[in-house]
């Protein structure tokens, strides 16, 4: 997903709770999108206008994919949405280099045939189920890694590369 597409999806997702709250107001007539838009600060209005221009500039296939993703998002249970939002937050906290590396690995994963991908998913599930202590340790290590500065992370990566070369 391109950065622009992600921004458009994020803008749409962020506006969904506003619409839900408006619909949930008992007795009051539902607020129109225009009314909600007019109440936004000017900077947010401008950002949404820009996202709309980007959306309109997308090829039809990309807009359709975005529409399908939005439908999938709306169908997720609240706890799954929370997990997705947390993953997005974690992804955005990565350095640009880490994001690029993650994107590259994901692209490689997607290039694998479906059988290989399914095999890797099963192996990871088995690992996590069979080793609860290892899973806990892995999650703790990930938490500690995220707390490190980008400089410290890079230093540790370089040390690991040196050790692997020996």
Taking 70 as the pLDDT cut, the residues of the chain under it are 1-30
Cβ atoms of 130 and 77 closer than 8 Å:
no
pLDDT of residue 115: 93
* Long-range contacts, 123-131 (Cβ 8 Å, 24+): none
pLDDT of residue 14: 52
Give the HSE-up count for residue 50: Cα atoms under 13 Å, Cβ half-sphere: 10
DSSP three-state, residue 121: helix
pLDDT of residue 22: 45
pLDDT of residue 130: 74
pLDDT of residue 18: 47
Per-domain boundaries in the chain: 1-22+31-60, 89-166
Its pTM stands at 0.48
pLDDT of residue 60: 93
């Amino acid at each position: 997903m391109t950065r622009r597409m992600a921004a458009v999806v994020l803008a749409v997702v962020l506006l969904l709770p506003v619409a839900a709250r408006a619909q949930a107001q008992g007795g009051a007539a539902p607020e129109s999108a225009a009314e909600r838009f007019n109440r936004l600060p000017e900077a947010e209005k401008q950002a949404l206008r820009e996202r709309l221009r980007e959306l309109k500039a997308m090829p039809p296939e990309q807009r359709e994919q975005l529409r399908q993703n939005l439908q999938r998002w709306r169908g997720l249970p609240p706890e799954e949405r929370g997990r997705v939002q947390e993953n997005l937050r974690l992804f955005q906290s990565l350095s640009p280099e880490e994001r690029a590396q993650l994107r590259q690995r994901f692209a490689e994963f997607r290039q694998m045939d479906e059988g290989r991908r399914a095999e890797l998913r099963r192996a990871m599930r088995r690992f996590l189920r069979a080793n609860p202590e290892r899973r806990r340790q892995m999650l703790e290590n990930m938490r500690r890694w995220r707390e490190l500065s980008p400089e410290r992370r890079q230093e540790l990566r370089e040390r690991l590369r040196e050790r692997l070369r020996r």
